[in-house]
């Protein structure tokens, strides 16, 4: 239900970073509870943070759509691995 906070202008800039962090922790906790070993202690956090920061960094701004797609594919792979 916290995803709806992304609809609040300006607040959504900060909330994206918090959401990526919480999502990474959630994936990690779920994998630990099922005994699954992941490739990272914080899965997807680095790529998610880069995707959130990309609009504010001129060079990354150009590849932000690609980063978003790669991040979503990575999340989907974690979903398949955990379920």
**Full DSSP string of 20-81:** HHHHHHHHHHHHHHTTPPPS-SSTTHHHHHHHHHGGGSHHHHHHHHHHHHHHHHHHHHHHHH
Q: What is the pLDDT of residues 7-49, one digit of tens each?
A: 999 999 999 999 999 999 999 999 999 999 998 999 999 999 9
Q: Of 18, 19, 21, which is closest to residue 46 (Cα–Cα)?
A: 21
| pTM score above 0.85 | yes
Dihedral, CA of residue 9, residue 10, residue 12 and residue 15, to nearest 10: -150
């Amino acid at each position: 239900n916290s995803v709806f906070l992304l609809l609040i202008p300006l607040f959504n800039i900060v909330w994206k970073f918090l959401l990526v962090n919480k999502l990474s922790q959630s994936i990690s906790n779920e994998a630990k509870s099922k005994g699954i070993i992941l490739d990272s202690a914080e899965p997807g956090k680095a790529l998610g943070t880069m995707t959130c920061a990309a609009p504010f960094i001129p060079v990354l701004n150009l590849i932000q759509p690609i980063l978003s797609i790669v991040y979503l594919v990575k999340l989907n792979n974690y979903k398949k691995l955990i379920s």
